[in-house]
Structures are given as structure tokens and as C-alpha cells.
Chains A and B, each alone.
Chain A
Amino acid sequence: MKRSPSTLIVAGLAAFSFVAAACGSDDAEPQSSDAAPADTDTLPTGSSADSGEGDAMSESITIYSGRNEELVQPILDRFEAETGIDVDVKYDDAANLALLIDEEASAGRVEADVFLSQSPGTMGFLDTNGRLAQLPETTLDLVDVNVRDADGRWIGITGRQRVLVYNTDLVDPADLPTSVFDLIDERWQGQIGVAGGNGSFQDFVTSMRATQGEDMTAEWLSDLAALDPVPYPKNSAIVAAVGRGEVEVGLVNHYYNFLALEEDPNQTSANHVFEGDDPGAVLLVTAAAIVDGSERTAEAALLIDFLLSDDSQRSFSDDEYEYPLASGVEPSGGLPALDFTDVGSIDFNELQGGLEATRELIADAGLES
């Protein structure tokens, strides 16, 4: 089955664009959003690494990776083998790395060439502070226009869908709501696992602000808080809690349950996807960017191209069940097909405050753990 992402709903774009709006430039608008390269026959990447080989290339490149080593390192090893460029990596929580990149830049000592992030929020933080460089057009063209920064300073690598994970022993699938708004029901009183301080929950709320408006989002958050949801620090903790029946359902990213079942096939948990263009079924992107001030931008771009090559995208999808974002790459067989909807009409500039406003909205609703 050929996936045709005519347009994509991408929370990352929302989260990022709020803060990017502060920087205010529209200089690098590459193409209009409805002219997506949907049915292109040519595979745009994969061989670009070879063409980059040459004497001009630096011998090494430094990556700050907020993405997990188990997943990223094998791909980086292949990059080393194919290009001859040594890859030095620092792994840490994406937010900590963003802080470090910011400190390095303000001291005038840029160490990282490429930043890989699990969440668009950290990209927004860095771009607001002017720490990201412009990506080349050829790199930006590898993905649909809706999964990259409008100003061309970061690009989506993979997608993770927001879902409701539920305990199959405790919950009748027929009871599950079709919309995240219908989750506001006494049936779920004290039974919803929420990671209010976690980046992906915050990005989901940011996208809800963009698509549903501030008031509706604030109302949903306070209704949710009234149901006494159980706070957890992160998605994997929620999936584990649902698996052992501590809570019946939880708001998480889709792939954590796939991984949990791989670790323990007997765990009684499953994903429920909200229907259609529901804000609860939004796709969040993991992203890559070149750090402003890097002296190895050609190598950095080569690496990002490599992450978007067919093989790498396959690894992301097959090994961690993420949705590939490079045009023309199919998701792994185990993943349900995604039907993305249009968000082209959202005016991000009208929304202010980005990450900080989202956090305050969540805290004001009385949610944060």
C-alpha cells in the first residue's frame, strides 16, 4: 500500500512555530503547503552520501543526540562506514543538550554540528535563541513541507503518533472514546495516566492550542485535571503502569507499547488511536538541525540526508516502530496506516509564547505531577 501524505498534521511544527514566530522571518519558504511531492517516483535520498565523498570533507563530525543510543548508533555506524567521516556522539536528554548547546553558543564555542531531538519543543527553544543554522534546500526537499520548519532551520526525521494506551484486561475496547475530548468522562475518573511534565505531552498540548484554540485547550486541560489523572514522569512509565493495571488508560506516543510488548509479550496493554483528525491522534516529529556556527555544515547536511535515506528510515520504522517521514518510504508492516489531515490553514503567528505558555497552561489547569 502506497502511503500518500498529501498533507500532514504535525504538532512539532506548531510547537516550533510559536517560538519561531518571535524570530519572525519568512525568508526560506520553499514551496506552498498544498504542493506536496506526494506521488513522486524517484527516491530522493540514499545515494547522496556517496556523492558527498571527497577530499574537501572534514574527517569528523560531532552530534548531540537526544535520541536513544540503541536506535541511533547503528545508523551512525553505517554513516561512518559509508562516508569515512568519524562521528563523535554525546547522548543525553534532549532538553539538557539544548541547554548545553545554548551555553556553548553564548560562550562562542560551538562543539556540536548536528542536534537530534526527540521533541520539537527543544528545537523551538534553540531557534528562539538563534542557535540553529539554515538547512540546504536539497535536504529540506527530502520531506513533505509540513514536517519541517517553515524557515528551514530544522527537519523532521520520524513521526510518533499520540495514542491512548489501555489495559486489555480492565477495559472493554467498546468503551474507548473516539476523540480525546470524549475522554472527559466519569468512566475514567482516577484511571488516566498523564505525563504533564513530559516533552511529548507538552507538544501535544501545543498542537491542540494551534488547532482548537487557547480556550478549548484550557477547558480540556482543566476537565482532565478534574478527573484526577495519575501523574507519571514519562511515556514508558505510563505504559508500564497500564500494563500492570495501576491505571486503565494513558496518554502516550504510539511506539512505547510496541517496545513494551517486544520486551514482555505477555503484558496486557494495547494502543487505541483516536479517529480521523482528532487532536489526540496528532503526529509528533523527532527532528534534526545543524547548529549555528558549525564549521562542518556540509558534513552535517550529509548526515541529515543519511538519516532520511531509505535504509535509515527503514531502521527507524522497523526497529522502533516510528513513522518514516522521507517521501516515498513506507511505514513498517506492524504499524497501522496513518491518515494524515490538513493543517495548512493554521496561522501560527497568532499564537504566542510557545513552550512556556504551554507549560503554564498545563500547570494552571492543576495538572503537572
Chain B
Amino acid sequence: MTDPAAAFTAPARLGGSRAASRLQRAPSLLTPLALAIGAGFAFPAAFVVWRTIRLEASFSETIGEIPGPLWRTVQLAVLVSASTACLGTLLAWVTTRTDLPLRSMWRIVLVLPLVLPSFVGATAFIAGLAPGGVIHDGLDLIGIDAPRRFRGLGASWFVLTAFTYPYVMLPVSGRLANLRASHEESARMLGCTQRQAFLRVTLPELRPAILGGSLLVFLYTLSEFGAVQLLGYDTLTRVIFATRLSDRALSFASATVLLALAVAVVVAERRLRGRSTPDRRAAAAGTRRPTELGWRKVPATLTCATVAAIGIAVPVISLGVWARRGLAANRVSFGDLVDPAITTATVATITALVTVIVVLPVALATTRRPGLGPNVAAGFVVGGFAIPGLVIALSLAVLALNVSAFGFLYQTLPLLIIAYVVHFGSQTLTSAEQAVRAVPDAVREQSQLLEPNALRRAVRVDLPIMRPGLLAGGGLVMLATLKELPATLLLAPNDFSTLATEVWSGLEEGFYAAAGLASLTLIAVSGALTWLLVLRRMDSAA
């Protein structure tokens, strides 16, 4: 409270809480609904714990095998979430709040690293380091020898940061898009430098979005398997996978440990965020003047270009080299990829829509009826991201196989979409909560007086204001679904293929040309969908 920024926030906060007290309480069904949704999301976790108990996992064996990988997992997750928090926030600010040249282009390009499955990104990145590879030859030009070995904690941190910072950048961009600029301008007029204004006024407003995004990165790193394996970094997921046939008790016990870690982090993040929710005064209105970068346009552009080069250009060039070899030798063609591309786009779009609908009540509950119940529900939604996709898929398969009411879902698309929703709901939740908070209390209050019908009010007042946040959340789910692999392979109907399964099929046995072509198609489809369905609409709403 001694923060100078309090000078600006205190009056607003007072006004906000007065308005809140006059607001009609949100429908009382919201909390039970959120809890019911949360229970659905909790199912895979319950399955893991139940299996661990039933298989009578040996405590001593688990203790013997797990500490090393567990510690390495924690190290990597902490490092990657810290670096993505900084990088993602910086890039969000530069691309939404400044006069950076070509910033509409950067906003699309800088999201693209998210579209590559991490095992593809890592394979392509490593290939770039080989003699003749793009990084190797690029470094050679400036007289640097590419490292002969690119492995371990540092390499994994570098590659995961390069591929996951959009998890922070997207929600922070969404928050910046509907954050009123007047506070920052007032701070400037009162003598704060631009940097002071950002640190004291804007950054606290962004804190929930940054924390939420970093949490996603943390959980992603926990469940990550393919990339860290290729980079020679041994984590907890390796134990889960390596023992899934030979020692199932140990495999599930490791998954339980992973789960416990995820729960601890989710709870910690909720607490951190909870103490700093300055949201009731937020407003979407107000015109903004972009910050003039001046000479800093050069370093800003260079930063964007470097990040894009590492996260998307290097992998794309490696993939392109593979694909060209195959196309030249007539071993591969685009024709086989048309059907998987259409399937992939359709399923990902449906999944994004369903996820937003399912998660929105939880976001409404946590922001408008805060309390233990909604927080528990939100914790379950978020935790789903930490469970490896294979485990989620297996839990749903076991459910459909053994509970006759769900039997008809086995090996159908609806069950696969349920798996996606459970796995990726967390990615929508953070953005959806931001979206709900973006509706100012004053606006809600006035609309209640003018429009008694709650549904019509939601459609005409709340949803338009929430739109950028919901689109950002849906967009993240869409991108995640486009590249999802383990659940797709296990749960999809027979003879069902997506671009990600095509990529996997090629890469698994070393058919690099086929993998390269399918990966490039995946990037193109993801980029097009992100622009068409998300970014374009976010802009028009903002």
C-alpha cells in the first residue's frame, strides 16, 4: 500500500467496491456448476491416484527412482517459466502498445512457435546445428563454431523457452488490449518516467495474466516428454513412459508425484494472484496512443526477429530442407495431406469452441463468486495441463471401457474432444478470467438497470467486452489441439489421421521428408486459423 501507484489505484478501488456492493449477486447456480465442471476435469487425476493405490506401488522403489528426475524437472520448469514470463511480457508490450513497424505481422509470427509439436521443434532445431544446417552455417558466417553437442538443462531451457513464451505473450496481449491507458498517462503527467509508469502502474495490472501464462508454461514443462528426451535431459515424464509396460506401479506412482507437484504450483499461483486482483476498476474504453519507440525501434525489431528466427524460422528451414529432398525425389506429395489438414482444422476449431463454453462458467465463478469452491474447480481445470496426454487418454479409455453409460463413446471423436478439453482447458481459463474481469462493474450495474433479461444482457453487453480474452483463450486451445499427438493416437477412431499423426509417423522411423512436409502444412494451417479466427477478431474488437 506504500506503493506510489496506490495513489492512482485507491480511488478507483473504492469506487469499484461501492459499485460491487450494489450489483446483483451472480446466479447462485454458478458455484455448483463450476464444481461439477471441475469434477469432470479432476477425473484423470483421480484415475492416476486410484491406479497407484490399486497397483500397490512400492514406496521404497518409488523413492529410489524418483528424486533425481523430480529435481531436474523442477529446475527446468522454474527456469523456463521465469524466462518466458520476461520474454512473453516484453513481446506482448512491444507488439500491442508501441509504434513498432510491422507489428500486426509480428503479432502473428510471434505466436507461431506454439504451433510446432515440441518434439518436432526440437528435432528440427537440433538438425539446424548439424554441419550444413541453418544454425551451424549461420554461426559459421560470423565466425562462431556451432556446439557439437547441444544437450542437457541449458539446451532444454533454451528450446522450451523459444517454443512456449507465447503462453505468456497471448494472455498479456489480451490484457493489454483492454486495459485503460488513462492511469498510465496520468502517471506520466505526474512525472513518472515511461519505465516507472510501466513498472508501477501497468505491470501490477498485468500480474494475473503474467502469472497465469507462466503457470501454463510451468505445467507444460512438467508434462513435456518428446523435446527434453531428444535434448538428453532426464525428467519425471521419462520414468512414467519408460516403465509404463515393465513396471506399471512405478509408472503410476511417478504420475502421482507429478500430479502433487502440479497441485502445489497451482495453489501457489492462485494465492499469489489472489492478493493482487486490482480488477474491478478495469475498463475497456478509452483511446490509446502507442508508445513511441524512437531509436529503440531497432533493438525492438531485432529482438522480435531473433525470437522468431529461433522459434519458427530455424525449424521451418530445417523442415523445408527435408521436404525439398523428398519432393525432388518424388517420394512425398502434398496430396496425401489434404484430408488430414481438413480434419485437423475442423476438430481443433470445435474443440476450441467447446472448451470456451465449458470453462467460462468456472471463470465466472472464480471472478464473480470468489471462494473455496470455485478455486478448487479452477485448480482442477488448470491441473489437467500437467498430466501427460497419454495418461489423460488412458484414463478416458478406461472410463469408456468400464462404465456402460460411456461405452458408446469409445473410439469416437466426442471422446477425443473431451480429452482435448480436459487437457487444454487450463489454457482457456486464464484468458477467460481476464475476459470476465474486463467487464467493468459500472457497466454491469448500468446494464442490469437497462436490460432485465440476463441472457440478452450477456450477449449484448458482457460477451462483446469479453471477446478478446475469450478469443485468446480459445486460440491457445486451438493451437494446442492442432498439434496434439498421444491422445489423438490412442483415442481417435481407427483410420483417423491428423497432421500431427502424419508428422509423428514420418519422424518416428526417420522418414524426414514426409515429416517435414506434414510439419510445414501444420504450420500453415495453424497460422491461417490463428489469423482468421483469433487475431483478426481480436483486433476488430479492440
Contact = CB atoms under 8 A, between A and B. Distances in A.
B242 A359 contact: yes
B127 interface: yes
A232 B232 contact: yes
A109 B123 CA distance: 38
A246 interface: yes
Contacts of A92: 489-490
Interface in B479-511: 486, 489-490, 492, 494-495, 501, 505-511
B243 A109 contact: no
A147 interface: no
Nearest to B243: A359
B505 A243 contact: no
A359 B246 contact: yes
Interface residues of A, number: 53
A266 B132 CA distance: 10
A293 interface: no
Interface in B208-260: 226, 229-230, 232, 234, 238, 241-247
B131 interface: yes
A266 to B, nearest CB: 8
Interface in A68-109: 68-71, 88-93, 95-96, 98-100, 103-104, 107, 109
B238 A107 contact: no
A125 B509 CA distance: 23
Interface in A44-90: 62, 68-71, 88-90
A107 B148 contact: no
Contacts of A89: 494-495
Contact of B401 (A70, A96, A109): A109
A236 interface: yes
Contacts of A68: 505, 508-509, 511
B129 A368 contact: no
Interface string B125-136: 011011111000
Contact of B242 (A96, A197, A232): A197
Contact of A263 (B241, B325, B410): B325
A109 B404 CA distance: 11
B267 interface: no
A260 interface: yes
Nearest to B401: A107
B140 interface: no
A243 B390 contact: no
B509 A96 contact: no
A125 B230 CA distance: 26
A234 B238 CA distance: 13
A264 interface: yes
A263 B511 contact: yes
A264 B127 CA distance: 12
B447 interface: no
Contacts of B489: 90-93, 96
Interface of B: 65, 123, 126-127, 129-133, 148-149, 151, 226, 229-230, 232, 234, 238, 241-247, 322, 325-326, 390, 394, 397-398, 401-402, 407, 410-411, 486, 489-490, 492, 494-495, 501, 505-514
22 contacts: A68-B505, A69-B505, A92-B490, A93-B489, A99-B394, A100-B394, A100-B490, A122-B245, A197-B238, A230-B151, A231-B232, A232-B230, A240-B510, A244-B127, A245-B131, A245-B148, A246-B148, A259-B510, A266-B132, A320-B509, A356-B246, A369-B234
